[in-house]
Amino acid sequence: MTKEQIFANANIVLEDEVIRGALHVADGVITAIEPGTSVPDGAEDFGSDLLCPGLVELHTDNLERHIQPRPGVDWPHAAALVAHDAELASVGITTVFDAMRVGSIPSSKSRYSKYARDLARELLAMRAAGALKISHYLHLRAEVCSETLEEEMAEFGPEDRVGIVSLMDHTPGQRQFRDLSKLKAYVMGKNNLNEEEFADHVANLQGLRERNGDRHEAVAVAEATRYGAVLASHDDTTADHVATSSDLGIHLAEFPTTVEAAQACRDQGIAVMMGAPNLIRGGSHSGNVAAGELAEMNLLDIVSSDYVPAALLSAGLLLGDMWGDTARGIATITKTPARAAGLEDRGALAAGQRADLIRVARIADAPVVRGTWVQGNRVA
For 16, other C-beta atoms within 10 Å of its C-beta total 9
pLDDT for the residue numbered 180: 55
DSSP character for 130?
T
pLDDT for the residue numbered 2: 78
pLDDT for the residue numbered 199: 62
The mean predicted confidence, pLDDT, of the chain is: 91
Handedness of CA 237, 238, 239, 243 (dihedral sign): negative
pLDDT for the residue numbered 181: 56
Q: What is the CATH number of the domain that holds 294?
A: 3.20.20.140
Residue 321 lies in a domain: yes
pLDDT for the residue numbered 201: 62
Domain that holds residue 280: 56-344
Total count of domains within the chain: 1
Closest CA to 115 of 54, 63, 179, 79: 63
Residue 353 lies in a domain: no
Instruction: Find all residues with CB under 8 Å of 79, minimum gap 6, and list them.
Output: none
Residue 360 lies in a domain: no
Instruction: Find all residues with CB under 8 Å of 173, minimum gap 6, and list them.
Output: 180, 202, 206
Q: Nearest 10 degrees: CA dihedral of 250, 251, 257, 258?
A: 110
Distance CA 119, CA 156 (A): 12
Residue-wise pLDDT tens digits, 236-247: 999 999 999 999
Residue ranges for the chain with pLDDT beneath 50:
188-189
pLDDT for the residue numbered 146: 84
Residue 4 lies in a domain: no
Instruction: Report how far apart, in Å, the C-alpha atoms of 290 and of each of 45, 186, 295, 341 are.
Output: 39, 20, 9, 24
Q: What DSSP letter does each residue of 317-371 carry, written as one string?
A: HHHHHHHT-HHHHHHTTTHHHHHHTT--SSSS-STTSB--EEEEEEETTEEEEEE
pLDDT for the residue numbered 212: 72
Dmax (CA) of the chain = 73
pLDDT for the residue numbered 126: 97
Q: Is 200 exposed, middle or buried (0-12, 13-18, 19+ CB in 10 A)?
A: middle
Distance CA 7, CA 135 (A): 22
Residue 257 lies in a domain: yes
Residue 79 lies in a domain: yes
For 310, other C-beta atoms within 10 Å of its C-beta total 19
pLDDT for the residue numbered 284: 83
The identity of residue 328, as a single letter, is R
Residue 281 lies in a domain: yes
Residue 31 lies in a domain: no
Distance CA 23, CA 217 (A): 46
